[in-house]
Amino acid sequence: MNGPVEPFKIKMVERVGMPDEQRRNNAIIEAGYNTFLLKSEDVFIDLLTDSGTSAMSDYQWAGLMTGDEAYAGSRNFYHLREAIRDVLGYTSYVPCHQGRGAEHLMYSYLVKPGQIVPRNMYFTTSKLHVELPGGRMVDIIIDEAHDPENEYLFKGNVDLKKLQALIDEFGLGKIVFVNVEMNVNMAGGQPISMQNLRELRKFCNDYKLKIIFDATRSSENAFFIRDREKGYENVPIIEILREMMSYSDGCIYSCKKDALVNIGGFLATNDKEIFENTRNMVVVYEGLHTYGGMAGRDMEAVARGLREGAQYEYLKYRVNQVRYLGELLNKADVPIVKPIGGHAVFLNALKFLPHISRNQWPAQTLTAAIYEESAVRSMERGAVSKGRDKETGQNIYPALELVRLTIPRRVYTNTHMEYTANSIINLFKKKDTISGLKMVYEPKYLRFFQSRFEKISL
């Protein structure tokens, strides 16, 4: 099996070094067994996230030089508006410093205290920005998404029966909009189908409910629609994207993923009221409505990256590189979430470390063990990420207790994938020697970023 051929050549490189075993052992202790707290220079291959870690193209770098840093009315704001219109089909947008800035503006405008926000699986920052104005996020993803072994091709789909049950239980007055994520991150990078989006739109029209997308990984989702859904085999990615977005009333978007940049975000909509209200609030929290926390040069890089990131040849390589890593692991019987997702390979920590109980944080334990073995940095996506129940204060143990090996875009070679796979396969062979962790520090918000752990002896 060969890795996919890269549709680019490398013009600039950055040195990375392999820390020796002693340095790795010290580094992970100092980091409190939390890979977010490692120094990047102690990492050999950084698979913490695909967010803000992309390599920009020469065309994007050239765009930086055309940055118009005027306080108001920067030309790059208008370039980005054109790109959003062309690629996503929204007429209006509000720039923000990154995705969570857009979530803040969108959800603090739409969510009122006591309201329910149905969503196809939570995402950490999205859930928090629904909770801060007094709302509650409720999961309406299909059951298949909670089963790592289930190979259903559209595990990001919304279960309309679950949505109906919420309406029946709480009444329409409690629900203002349905929140739909593309290529659902916490489910393993799993797509939603066009058919499901279409059915959801019809359902929401009947009840006069708005639909707001988290379109952060919409280009990778569009690739899966083309690859897997009947009737889309030869449809250009941009046409697929525009059809997807046409089923929404607006979206929030972190540009740090599919738009191939290191920073940036926006919300976009065709709804005049959403636009006017969020555009008014952007000046309070982010910056003027024609830059919203981004420099002019950043907006130019996003405008170019949004178009590049929607090219079929690029997306094919991208998704296949992730698949390559996943298949190397799968062949060696390392337990992973299936089907292999768009931006990452997810290890099933409950199967990898069956001897470690949930309250000893198996996924967190596995991220630390992978680092110690290989200097590869991964991310916990299980109970530490999920946090505590808002009402009872108890830890919630989600069905998925995962470790995310997230592939930055256009950054690592297929040899890096092979090194990663071999290291994890070696670790898997000696998994019984790995002991669990206890949490010794827990901050109030988004605890996974800063919490600290100590090792429990076997």
Contact residues: ligand P61, CB under 6 A: 49, 51, 98-100, 123-126, 181, 185, 214, 216, 254, 256, 265, 379
What is the helix (H) or strand (E) element at residue 64, kind and residue range? Answer: helix 58-64
Per the annotation, the verdict on 415 as an active-site residue is no
Per the annotation, the verdict on 8 as an active-site residue is no
Per the annotation, the verdict on 159 as an active-site residue is no
Cβ closest to ligand P61, residue 48 vs residue 175? 48
Q: What does the alpha-carbon distance between residue 324 and residue 345 come to, in Å, rounded to a whole number?
A: 10
Q: How far is the CB of 233 from ligand P61 (least distance, A)?
A: 27
Q: How far is the CB of 261 from ligand P61 (least distance, A)?
A: 10
Instruction: Tell me which of 123, 232, 352, 453 is the catalytic residue.
Output: 123
Per the annotation, the verdict on 449 as an active-site residue is no
Per the annotation, the verdict on 224 as an active-site residue is no
Q: Which residues contact 288 (CB under 8 A, 6 or more apart)?
A: 71, 72, 282
Residue 375 DSSP code: S
Q: How far is the CB of 429 from ligand P61 (least distance, A)?
A: 29
Per the annotation, the verdict on 123 as an active-site residue is yes
Q: How far is the CB of 46 from ligand P61 (least distance, A)?
A: 12
Cβ closest to ligand P61, residue 3 vs residue 191? 191
Per the annotation, the verdict on 124 as an active-site residue is yes
Cβ closest to ligand P61, residue 125 vs residue 365? 125
CA-wise closest residue to 225 among 137, 342, 88, 144: 342
Q: How far is the CB of 378 from ligand P61 (least distance, A)?
A: 11
Cβ atoms within 10 Å, residue 158: 26
In contact, 180 and 212? CB cutoff 8 Å: yes
Give me the half-sphere count of Cα atoms (radius 13 Å) on the Cβ side of residue 9. 1
Cβ closest to ligand P61, residue 34 vs residue 125? 125
CA distances from 270 to 91, 103, 111, 267, 307 (A): 6, 17, 19, 11, 20
Cβ closest to ligand P61, residue 51 vs residue 278? 51
The b-or-e profile of 116-126 (16+ CB within 10 A means b, else e) is bbbbbbbbbbb
Q: What does the alpha-carbon distance between residue 296 and residue 25 come to, in Å, rounded to a whole number?
A: 42
For the annotated catalytic residues, the residue numbers are 71, 123-124, 214, 257, 381, 448
